[in-house]
């Protein structure tokens, strides 16, 4: 009888076993690294630019024929409702398109010479080269689209990549790698590893890794960065607390659907989910009650049911955690205007908490669940100060009809992106995306990732003819 460990994949809604996958030992993982490193070191094996574009165009075509299949895989393993998982799949196809188009923009520039006597007789220019072998560690909440952002970008930039999908949601990654193979990606350029965290750490900290792309918890991300080999670059994407400032002139009826969707989408399991909503005291209660009413109308349940709007948490222990955090807030003075209770072992009610104390976990930490906290304020400057007081700074938002107030708030909120009259979770895949301070380092967004996955080389030619 084999003693090989297996990874069990469960449906997060009904906890049924979907599949068991054999886990790789250290030798297999290091063999994957040796393969990737060998490809990069042998320049004759590099895939020509035009060929990478051709392959990625073929990937798009294959994906378009598998939208339903990919949607169901993502929804079943990740718990994001069918309707939102389908949007994710379509985004992923567009992401491949963006990467293919961006290849031609990975260019250098001419550096002026002859500006001093010592530089006469020379011409200089830069080119961009692949950075090397990339290790990508992914998260569960977008099981296909995150894989696109962490593998297609590397391949498009000319880098071999080894990806470790989230242990709860690897099936979308396997499905995508089959598509890459069908499209003609040569063996070894995009590899998947299913292994434990210690072995994954051995991989990413190996000196043959040139770049780490990490999406996950701050604790793990900063730890891995501290262990990287000298010269290994990285992009770390952690979470945030997504503050929103709502001024008294905000258009409430237009705003409510955006805030409710931004907070309850994928049961709040998004790194930029609406979490902390600071509202001018003259309209705060009205806004809180309207968000609560919108949440109550949402259909919570089986993600494979096309009517479902809010699915399960990724594991039952996450339901336990959110229940503990909400109970702590209520016991210490917060009011649950709506929700506040588990529906089952796997689902939690869309919840609106009124004015929890700032020293409660729901106010201090990333909730990563279907919970929106509403805080009344009289002084916008003070609300911004509280919003900025956490160590997490990712995306934020302001709702107002006053352009000066909007610009002032955008300037004063500590965030990498501030949405004006839109929710914090807005994203398109060609924009820069990433946290600052404890929320991460480096930028995602397909063009930005591809740029980071290359490095410049300067060529200076000396000639008497120049």
Closest CA relative to residue 446, chosen from 36, 51, 133, 155: 155
C-alpha span between 104 and 331 (Å, rounded): 57
Task: Report helix, strand or coil for 85.
Answer: helix
Which helix or strand (DSSP H or E) is residue 376 part of?
strand 371-377
C-alpha span between 27 and 32 (Å, rounded): 9
Q: Hey, which residues does 329 pair with through a beta bridge?
A: none
C-alpha span between 300 and 351 (Å, rounded): 12
Q: For helices 171-183 and 49-64, what crossing angle results, to 10°?
A: 120
Q: Which residues are catalytic?
A: 237, 271
Please give the backbone phi and psi of residue 440, each rounded to the nearest 5 degrees, phi first.
145, -170
Residue 177 contacts by C-beta under 8 Å, 6 or more apart in sequence? 190, 192
- Six-digit token string for 420: 């004006």
Q: Hey, which residues does 192 pair with through a beta bridge?
A: 163
Give the end-to-end CA distance of the chain in Å, rounded to a whole number: 73
Residue 411 contacts by C-beta under 8 Å, 6 or more apart in sequence? none
C-alpha span between 202 and 195 (Å, rounded): 11
Strand 133-137, strand 161-164: pairing: parallel
Taking the CA atoms of residue 235, residue 241, residue 245 and residue 250 in that order, the dihedral angle to the nearest 10 degrees is: 90
Q: How far is CA 433 from CA 239, 270, 418, in A?
A: 12, 13, 11
Q: For helices 26-41 and 197-204, what crossing angle results, to 10°?
A: 20
Number of other residues whose CB lies within 10 A of the CB of residue 316: 17
Name the DSSP class of 415. S
């Amino acid at each position: 009888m084999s003693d090989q460990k297996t990874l069990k994949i469960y449906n997060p809604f009904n906890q049924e076993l979907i599949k068991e996958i054999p886990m790789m030992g250290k030798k297999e993982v290091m063999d994957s690294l040796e393969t990737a490193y060998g490809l990069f070191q042998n320049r004759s094996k590099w895939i020509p630019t035009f060929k990478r574009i051709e392959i990625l165009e073929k990937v798009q075509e294959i994906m378009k024929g598998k939208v339903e299949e990919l949607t169901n895989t993502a929804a079943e393993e990740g718990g994001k409702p069918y309707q939102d998982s389908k949007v994710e799949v379509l985004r992923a196809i567009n992401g491949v398109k963006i990467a293919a188009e961006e290849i031609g923009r990975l260019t250098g520039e001419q550096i002026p010479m002859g500006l001093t006597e010592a530089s006469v007789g020379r011409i200089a220019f830069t080119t961009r080269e692949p950075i090397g072998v990339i290790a990508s560690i992914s998260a569960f909440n977008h099981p296909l689209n995150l894989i696109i952002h962490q593998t297609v970008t590397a391949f498009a930039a000319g880098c071999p990549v080894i990806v470790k999908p989230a242990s709860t949601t690897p099936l979308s990654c396997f499905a995508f790698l089959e598509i890459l193979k069908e499209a003609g990606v040569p063996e070894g350029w995009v590899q998947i590893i299913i292994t434990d965290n210690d072995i994954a750490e051995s991989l990413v900290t190996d000196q043959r890794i040139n770049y780490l792309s990490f999406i996950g918890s701050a604790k793990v991300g900063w730890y891995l960065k501290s262990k990287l080999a000298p010269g290994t670059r990285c992009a770390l994407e952690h979470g945030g607390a997504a503050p929103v400032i709502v001024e008294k002139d905000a258009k409430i009826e237009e705003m409510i659907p955006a805030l409710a969707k931004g907070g309850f989408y994928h049961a709040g399991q998004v790194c930029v989910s609406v979490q902390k909503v600071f509202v001018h005291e003259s309209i705060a209660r009205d806004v809180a009650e309207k968000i609560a009413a919108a949440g109550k109308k949402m259909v919570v349940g089986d993600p494979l049911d096309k009517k479902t709007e809010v699915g399960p948490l990724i594991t039952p222990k996450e339901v336990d955690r959110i229940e503990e955090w909400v109970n702590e807030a209520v016991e210490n003075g917060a009011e649950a205007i709506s929700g506040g209770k588990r529906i089952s072992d796997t689902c939690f009610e869309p919840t609106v908490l009124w004015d929890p104390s700032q020293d409660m976990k729901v106010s201090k930490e990333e909730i990563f669940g279907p919970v929106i906290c509403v805080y009344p304020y009289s002084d916008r400057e003070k609300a911004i100060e509280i919003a900025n007081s956490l160590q997490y700074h990712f995306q934020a938002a302001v709702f107002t009809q006053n352009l000066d107030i909007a610009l002032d708030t955008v300037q004063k909120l500590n965030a990498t992106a501030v949405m004006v009259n839109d929710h914090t979770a807005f994203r398109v895949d060609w924009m820069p995306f990433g946290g600052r301070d404890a929320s991460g380092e480096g930028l995602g967004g397909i063009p930005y990732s591809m740029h980071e996955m290359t490095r410049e080389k300067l060529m200076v030619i000396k000639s008497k003819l120049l």
